[in-house]
Amino acid sequence: MKPINILHIEDNSIDAGMVASELERANILFRHNIVDTKEGFLNALNHDMPDIVLSNHSLPDIDSLEALNIIKQKGLHVPFILIAANTSEEFAVSAIKKGADDYILKDRMQRLPSALLNAINKLDFHISKIRIEKEQKDSERLAIGEINKLARRLQLATRIAGMGVWEYDLLSNHLEWDEGMYLLYNIKQRQLESIHKTWLTRLHPNDKEQVNKEIEWAVASKKEYDTEFRIIWDDGSLHYIKAIGMVERDNAGNALKLIGINWDITNQKKEEERLKLLESVVTNTNDSVLITEAEPFDAPDPKIVYVNEAFTRMTGYTADEVIGQTPRILQGPKSDRQELAKLKTSLKKWEPCEITTINYKKNGEEFWVNFSVSPVANEKGWFNHWIAIQRDVTESKLAEIRLNELNESLQKHATELAISNANLEQHIKVVEEQNKKFKDIGWTQSHIVRAPLARMMGIASLIKNLKMADAECEELLNHFNASANELDDIIKEVVEKARQAIFN
């Protein structure tokens, strides 16, 4: 299949990359020619005719309306889609009236693949109709064989594209289908009595009124019929149909027929709904979401392409401030280099990774963040982005650090207490041994002291109760002194033994 040659007027490489990513995600084969000046645009038109033009609204020396006007002045049949960051509905309507096929807001880029294909299909149909009309006028000069060949080619083209061709006679209310239409509506030809009635029964009840209005507008305004609607098969399955048609008129301008094509866009609609749901989840989650390019792994690192509102609340940085930057903008002196090295190793292996480190807010405030990073692959299996889910864990991390400090302090005190208990036990043991020695000394000396003490008490009692001569009294006193000296010696011996027990 030949790649679609896209001429893209854009001076922002990030926005150009977003366009390429959306088209790659939709498996569209294309060649992307990006220009950012009027001169470059004119040169591309003259030397490399594009299949479609995508244009940013405003560049320094050319804007979208000027580019559209140049295409019209040159008489080129090239689809034109306006891509703008923000625009009013009035401006968008004005651009459509001046010839633009569609407009896409940059925050709704998921519409781009279907809009691009619709615009090209619309042009192909228009060109085919012009060519068919011309060939019809020349049919008298053509051989029947050539006409049949053209019909077979057209049938083959619509079959390959999964399209169905229809013709609606406005005067007789008669509808004709080709084989492709029966396939789109999952109907066998022999089942039909009236194609028009069957078509109406297939339409989703909520879409019938809008479809009828679209037909009326096309007939009344002399514009092409271009709409989408839902149909319901017999098995109850819902399918989305894209319909484009042109009104055939007589010389007086009266509408005679509506001729067009249908094709199934169910998968595109499901993908759009899935992307809208995913976008809603990412936008409204309380966790910070950051998406980067897949490479490079080394400096300057992959650039940020998306952040959600939770990221702004967490870091203070707006999306405009960080898109195009790298995640290094969040790192600082206290960021854990070992954790960052672990992350880098996982990235090089295209493996998911979860780390916790210190990041820095826009105002310089430190905060602990836990984030998990995973690679994201496109439909072809190629990794094209990294997505990081980040959560502020400052409170829990500080509590963890404090708990660790308390544990270390308790372990230190426990160690000191164990040492003190050991010293106390040793001291008690020493005291008990000394007490035992004192007990032995006291037990032994108490018997020794008792004898002289008893003699002294007896002598004292005799002196008190008896009338004795001086000689007898002197003898008693001598015995008394002898016993006192003996007792003194015993006491000195007790003191010395006690001293020895203490110091030995």
Whether residue 41 sits in one domain with residue 120: yes
CA end-to-end span of the chain: 108
Residue 17 CB-half CA count within 13 A: 14
Report yes or no on 430 lying in a domain.
yes
Q: How far apart are CA 253 and CA 319, in angstroms?
A: 53
Cα–Cα distances in angstroms (integers) from residue 56 to residues 12, 70, 85, 501, in the given order? 9, 15, 8, 105
The answer to whether the beta carbons of residues 183 and 164 sit under 8 Å apart is yes
The domain boundary, picked from 366, 392, 418, lies at 392
Give 343-393 as a DSSP string: HHHHHHTT--EEEEEEEE-TTS-EEEEEEEEEEEE-TTS-EEEEEEEEEE-
Q: How far apart are CA 53 and CA 33, in angstroms?
A: 10
Report yes or no on 400 lying in a domain.
no
Q: Which two tokens stand for residue 221?
A: 């305004």
Please state the three-class secondary structure of 241-288 as a single string. Answer: EEEEEEEEECCCCCEEEEEEEEEECHHHHHHHHHHHHHHHHHHHCCCE
Contacts 24+ apart (CB under 8 A), 301-308: 301/326, 301/327, 301/328, 302/326, 302/327, 302/386, 303/14, 305/14, 305/17, 305/18, 305/385, 308/282, 308/283
Q: How far is CA 395 from the centre of its chain?
A: 22
Q: What is the predicted pLDDT for the residue at 300?
A: 73
Q: How far apart are CA 368 and CA 353, in angstroms?
A: 17
Q: How far is CA 399 from the centre of its chain?
A: 27
Closest CA to 162 of 268, 64, 14: 268
What is the SS3 assignment for 80?
Answer: strand
Positive or negative, the CA dihedral 137, 152, 226, 33 is negative
What is the SS3 assignment for 87?
Answer: coil
Whether residue 172 sits in one domain with residue 136: no
Strand partners, 84: 105
Report yes or no on 240 lying in a domain.
yes
Q: What is the predicted pLDDT for the residue at 317?
A: 94
Whether residue 23 sits in one domain with residue 130: yes
**Count: domains in the chain:** 4
Q: Mind listing the pLDDT tens digit for each residue in 376-417?
A: 887 677 888 888 888 888 888 888 878 877 878 778 877 777
Report yes or no on 232 lying in a domain.
yes
Whether residue 482 sits in one domain with residue 446: yes
The domain boundary, picked from 392, 416, 442, lies at 392
Q: What is the predicted pLDDT for the residue at 288?
A: 87
Closest CA to 110 of 277, 249, 294: 277
Whether cis (ω within 30° of 0) applies to the bond prior to 452 is no
The domain in which residue 260 lies consists of 156-283
Q: Mind listing the pLDDT tens digit for each residue in 260-288?
A: 889 888 888 887 777 666 666 666 677 88
Q: Mind listing the pLDDT tens digit for each residue in 111-158?
A: 888 888 888 888 888 777 777 777 777 666 655 555 455 555 555 555
Q: Between residues 438 and 243, which one has the greater pLDDT?
A: 243
Whether residue 300 sits in one domain with residue 254: no
Across the chain, how many H-helices and E-strands are there? 15, 15
Whether residue 374 sits in one domain with residue 336: yes
**Type and span of the H or E element at 292:** strand 288-293
Q: What is the predicted pLDDT for the residue at 96?
A: 84
Would you say the pTM of this structure is higher than 0.75? no
Report yes or no on 192 lying in a domain.
yes
Phi, psi for 13 (deg, rounded to 5): -65, -30
Q: Return mean pLDDT, the chain.
A: 80
Q: What is the predicted pLDDT for the residue at 137?
A: 73
Whether residue 99 sits in one domain with residue 59: yes
Residue 433 has pLDDT above 60, yes or no: yes
Report yes or no on 146 lying in a domain.
no
Q: Which of 86-90, 162-166, 318-322 has the highest mean pLDDT?
A: 318-322
Q: Between residues 95 and 465, which one has the greater pLDDT?
A: 95
The answer to whether the beta carbons of residues 458 and 476 sit under 8 Å apart is no
Q: What is the predicted pLDDT for the residue at 358?
A: 92
CATH code where residue 189 lies: 3.30.450.20
Longest dimension (CA), the chain: 188
Q: Which two tokens stand for residue 85?
A: 């960051």
Torsion of CA 493, 497, 499, 502, to 10 degrees: -160
Q: What is the predicted pLDDT for the residue at 108?
A: 84
Give 122-173 as a DSSP string: HHHHHHHHHHHHHHHHTGGGS-HHHHHHHHHHHHHHHHHTTEEEEEEETTTT
Q: What is the predicted pLDDT for the residue at 193?
A: 61
Report yes or no on 71 lying in a domain.
yes
Q: How far apart are CA 152 and CA 83, in angstroms?
A: 38
Q: What is the predicted pLDDT for the residue at 54?
A: 92
